[in-house]
Amino acid sequence: MKGTVALVACGGVLFAAGTALLLARPLTRILLGAVLIGNGVNLLVLATSGPDGNAALLYPGSARSTMSDPLPQAFILTAIVITLALTAFLATMAYRAWQHSGNDDVPDDIEDIRVVRRATYAEERERLRAAYRKQRLEYRALARGEEEREAREHTAYERLGTARDRYRELRRRARADARAFRARQARAEESAEEIVGEDDPWQTILGADR
């Protein structure tokens, strides 16, 4: 077939334009992209046929060498019918989407959004957790300070306690000494009174030394 380069180039351009349209969001544009790519493919199929020639009709005396290749044309006819059906279906779908939501955009998948959200949730959670950890640390530091103070007080108290114990011990001993002294004195006074009652004062003062 003559001019195959033109066919291939045209097919390539249709492919490129169709791909660009396919990347759009509205279903109508995607539909147009599908139509363009479909036609591009059909041109490529046509480019695969051999040399061009007469219509492939078998009749007596027809020479095969002068005929064009019928097979790619049959392919293209079939493909055109299929693309037509799919175009109709996509157009219906675009209309239905418009009925539902007022536009025919292909939305992001909800589960995908959930996955993305899950990531942002994870970040948010990490941030909150970090803040929480920081606060917990501060609280713990505070609590530890308090504990230390308490511990200090306790040791001080204990130290105080030992001092007090020592004091009490001393006091106990002092009191015991005092009691013993008083008892001795009392005994001494008693014996003195006995002596006073018996004889003259000189006896009391001098005693046995008299």
Partner 1 sequence: MSGAATLVPLPVILPLCAAGLKLAIGARLERVQRFISAAVLLAVLVVSLLLLIAADQQGPQVMNAGGWAPPVGIVLVADRLSALMLVISSSVTLSVLVYSVGQGMADNDETTPLSVFHPSYLVLVAGVSDTFLAGDLFNLYVGFELMLTASYVLMTIGGTLARIRAGATYAIVSLLSSMLFLAAVAMVYAAAGTVTMAQLPARLDALPQSVAMVIQIALLGVFAIKAAVFPLAAWLPDSYPTAPAPVTAVFAGLLTKVGIYAMLRTQTLLFPGSRIGSVLMVLALLSLLVGILGAVSQTDLKRLLSFTLVSHMGFMIFGIGLGSPGGISGAVFYVAHHITVQTTLFLVAGLIERRSGTTDLQSLGGLARLSPALGVMFFVPAMNLAGIPPLSGFLGKFGLLRAGVHDGGALAYVLVGGATVTSLLTLYALAKAWNVAFWRAPTPEMCAVGTVLESTEEEPAGGGRGTSPGGIGDWPGGLRVLVPRRVTATFGGQEITTSSSLPVSMAGATAALVAFGLAFTVLAGPLFGLTDRAAGELLARSPYVEAVLHR
Among 77, 113, 122, 141, indicate the residue that binds partner 1 (CB under 8 A): 113
Contact call for residues 16 and 33 (beta carbons, < 8 A)? no
The label of the residue with tokens 């994870």 reads 122
Q: How far is the CB of 29 from partner 1 (least distance, A)?
A: 11
Radius of gyration of the chain (CA): 59
Q: Tokens representing 204? A: 């009391």
Residue 72 binding partner 1, by CB under 8 A: yes
The label of the residue with tokens 């299929």 reads 82
Nearest Cα neighbor of 204 from 194, 186, 183, 184 is 194
Residues in 79-108 at the binding interface with partner 1, rule: CB under 8 A: 79, 82, 85-86, 89-90, 93, 96-97, 99-103, 105-108
d(CA 71, CA 47): 12
Q: How far is the CB of 140 from partner 1 (least distance, A)?
A: 28
Backbone angles phi, psi at 54, to 5 degrees: -75, 170
d(CA 75, CA 19): 22
Q: How far is the CB of 150 from partner 1 (least distance, A)?
A: 39
Beta carbons within 8 Å of 22's beta carbon, 6+ residues apart:
30, 33, 34, 37
Q: How far is the CB of 123 from partner 1 (least distance, A)?
A: 13
Residues in 11-30 at the binding interface with partner 1, rule: CB under 8 A: 22, 27, 30
Residue 204 binding partner 1, by CB under 8 A: no
- CA torsion sign for 29, 35, 37, 40 is negative
What mask of x and - would describe binding to partner 1 in positions 23 to 62, judged by CB under 8 A?
----x--x---x--xx--x--xx-xx--------------
Residue 179 binding partner 1, by CB under 8 A: no
Instruction: Using the minimum distance from each CB to partner 1, give the nearer residue, 110 or 206.
Output: 110
Q: Which residues of the chain form contacts with partner 1 (CB under 8 A)? A: 22, 27, 30, 34, 37-38, 41, 44-45, 47-48, 71-72, 75, 78-79, 82, 85-86, 89-90, 93, 96-97, 99-103, 105-114, 117
